[in-house]
Structure 1
Amino acid sequence: MDIRSVMTPDPAACQAETPVRDIARLMLENDIGLVPVIDAQGRPIGTVTDRDIAVRLVAEGRDPQQATAQDCMTTPVTTVAIESSLTDATELMESRQIRRLLVVDGDGRLCGVVAQADIALSGRDRKTAELLRGVSEPKH
């Protein structure tokens, strides 16, 4: 099974200068918790999650009305090639302890997102259990 079979293609994305309120609107409209941040060529440079907004802006008392993606995005970004297998992706997620991976094409441009939920919905019970354990275990 490859990444294409489980990823969300053509995800909603933003640029570093995008206002946080617009990112939150994208999250609401698309029922998502992560928005990739891309450069002018479409290559991922970071991600903004609903948690990033809550923890890096709101909890710190910063004004989300004035903030942009650059103010709260997570970098560096972890990507996987679109030609990768699902096994490669889950192993990368486990080793980095991340719940979502950005999928890039041969030129490094964003073309999809694969999340734990996508893998769980693919019906591979053993692989799902391994991924959940690997991502959730505390690092030693």
Structure 2
Amino acid sequence: VLVRNVKYYTLDEDQLKTLLLYAEEDCQNDERQANSFSLLKAILEAKLVSNELHEVMEKVSKICILSESARSRDEARGIFVNYLTNYSPGKRMDKYIQFFVSQLNYELQHGRESSLKFLGMIISKLIV
């Protein structure tokens, strides 16, 4: 709530790092993943920047493919597309596009489908 709704207070770098540390840990836990995803959405919406954000988003990119939960893959994809399109990561964009293209050969169908959905989402965002 603080990150999303409070405009008169700005998080300092240490506070943001701490929140990202919690988000990183919680995004790996199915029971706390929803909280983590909500926090990440709020951080991205507020356009907060930290080196740790890029590390957390690396993990989110993997959740897009590896999670057995369709809901988790969908949430992670949406968050990751938002990250790539709004944070203009330059070289990272190429790296992640190549990552998702390579996942079209992933051994499990849900991972291949998720990769294809991500590529469709990112292409439609970049064309508009």
Determine which structure has the larger helix proportion and give its number: 2
State the TM-score, normalizing by the size of structure 2: 0.30
**Which of the pair has more CA radius of gyration?**
1
Determine which structure has the larger strand proportion and give its number: 1
State the TM-score, normalizing by the size of structure 1: 0.28
* Relative contact order, higher structure (CA 8 A, sep 6+): 1
